[in-house]
Structure 1
Amino acid sequence: MPKLLIVGTGYVADLYLRSLKLYPEIEIAGCFDRDAARLSQFCEYWSVPAVDSLEALLARGTPGDILVNLTNPASHFEISRIGLDAGLHVYSEKPLAMQMDQAKILNEMAADRGLLLASAPCSFLGEAPQTIWAGVREDVVGPVRLVYAEMDDDFISQAPFRKWFSESGAPWPAKDEFEVGCTLEHAGYYLAWLLPMFGPVRTVVAASAGLADKTDVTLDAAPDFSVGTLFFDSGVVARLTCSILAVHNHELRIIGDKGVIEMDECWNNAAPVRMRKRFALRRRLVNAPMARRLKLKGPTHAKLGRKGAAAMNFALGVVEMRDAIGDERPCRLSSDLSLHMNEVTLALQSAGEHGGSMAMETRFEPVSPMPWAEKLAR
């Protein structure tokens, strides 16, 4: 079984370690962070081994182990490149890279070396999106035409974020968050769901803007609002909105010929999935006021209770990569899927006021659902 080597012990690393506690059979061979004090605090809290350099960390692994890249987004490319060069599979936090040419280099390296490469988010492997996808496959609302996806998180620059700390004491990385931008940080939470369901995006028509004053935190803030219309090769069209200004809204609405599949919170693996049939009542068109709950047959996956703003198992992607290695099969979170998600996300982020239409160059092979999500319960 491959061991994990963790680089980066900041805020998000606690979410991973809390989730990895659900899988005691997974060995964490070592952790490294360039902040020695933070590394010590993290490793003492979680009782995992610390090493004092990246070289020492790599020395603890063997080819075929997994490097888990939880560093600052600006470091993702270089750390992942080093990991692949060392013969390690790499699971990276989002984005895969801050620039598309860097993401392509990683993709090519992984392919050339026969290694797995994937980037977060992994929530697509969770119960709620797998339930939605089963409903789409079973045609419960007829052919899907349109998707509305919202990733709005309220006016974060006015929030008391300096009081936000992770479980082991890391401060929320406000400067990084604002400089990377909410689109690169959050668009993937729905892109990682929609891409496996509906296939590659052919065209992105988008706009983005920086609207809130963040000069007390950073002078290099990225756009804090983006909206994109995604035209999928399959014919489905989706509107995806990201902001850290608009009132909190994580709704997803999948609109078909016969009704709507709806879900209210993508940061909850077990969020209820509902379906409303559409019908004519006298002279009116009505979406059923009483929604039907969609559920899968049998058990799904290990879940965490709510911790902070999310109720997500952050280890699902690492576990999927581990299982793919052990089963000698393709990983559901493939390098090509991560590359395509990176391209779509950057198109949304960089659109600006005159972004217009952007044709996507990358594609990926179809993704299979989880084995426990093949059919809905009846």
Structure 2
Amino acid sequence: MQKYIFHKKLNYLSLLMIAIGLLGFFFSFGKAMGNTQAYAEELQNRPWVALYTVALFYLLMALGVLVFYCINRVTKSQWSKPLNGVMEGISAYIFWGGAVVGLILVLACLGYAKLFPWMEAVSSPTADVLKSKRAFLNPTGFMVRSGVYLLLWSAFRYYIRRTSLTYAHTLNVKYEQRLFKLSAGFLVFFFITESLSSWDWLMSLEPQWYSTLWAWYVLSSFFVSGIALLTIIVILLKKSSYLPEVGTTHLHDLAKYLFAFSIFWAYLWFSQFLLIWYANIPEEAIYFVPRLLGGYKGLLIATIVLGFAVPLVGLISSRAKARRGWVAAMAAVILVAHFLDFYLMVYPATVGSYWGFGMAEFSALLTITGVFMLVVCRAFRRGI
């Protein structure tokens, strides 16, 4: 394993991003003077919505990288060995990202962040529907489940990283076997909890709505985002003279994964949309009405173009997959597309027509990106 040197400039940049982001986040809570009550409430809620969207996106990307790592461990892949240290370092964010998401969920349960309408004891046209789901959608069960997801994901990652470092120093085969067992156990636990967490954290934002494909759809979105993030970081490290064993074949393989899972995501998006839209069942179709017929239509089209059409055309050529700069650009486009995808999962249900890209969104991006850089670069110092 190589030791990564975390330069002071990058450290200070991370801290500066966090400081500026937090300042902007608190400043964005300004009151809506002279506006209607509904607009004022949405304006007050939007900073929490922005922070929740970005924090959840980064957490799930790091989780997607850990899933990719464990799949390669279980299948005993040889091609990914030079990337294992990088994937372990990125997954270090799961603990801190989980802490941020967990804090937002606690504040939502306490009523400070109005994210989940079923947490508010108010009468509504969907009250009868919510009563039938109360056994699952209740604050106590919600927080217990969320705590289990976050704590055990972090615990699995901790023991995987510790075992990997021990194996790297001792080369004892028993630690490699332990890594196999830990990775297999994590994957089983992950595929159960990923379904539940996608229902809890995203689908319950619109509790009257449901989709049987939702867990797979969310998984496909953050999994390809995680691979895109891994690809960009690997290319940046390679450019800085790290990862000498990583060559064109590794870049080509990562690009193939980006290509394949972009198509997989588009397939799930279209399958979910086609089944719901043509069935025209009100409690299912309500999800797509504001996104397809309302003010979010432009964002939806941009998400499909950037998340499917651009990678399809840009990465179909074998020669294109071997060009470092081009693959990095495609990975960046995919990241933007799936951030917009998460934006579309959260914003229509929480702020309605009062959406946008303003101080709240940019402050949240600065803060969480700064935390991510700080955590991951410090994790890299133990070896990549």
Same fold flag (TM > 0.5): no
Structure with higher helix content: 2
Structure with higher strand content: 1
In the superposition, the TM-score normalised over structure 2's length comes to 0.29
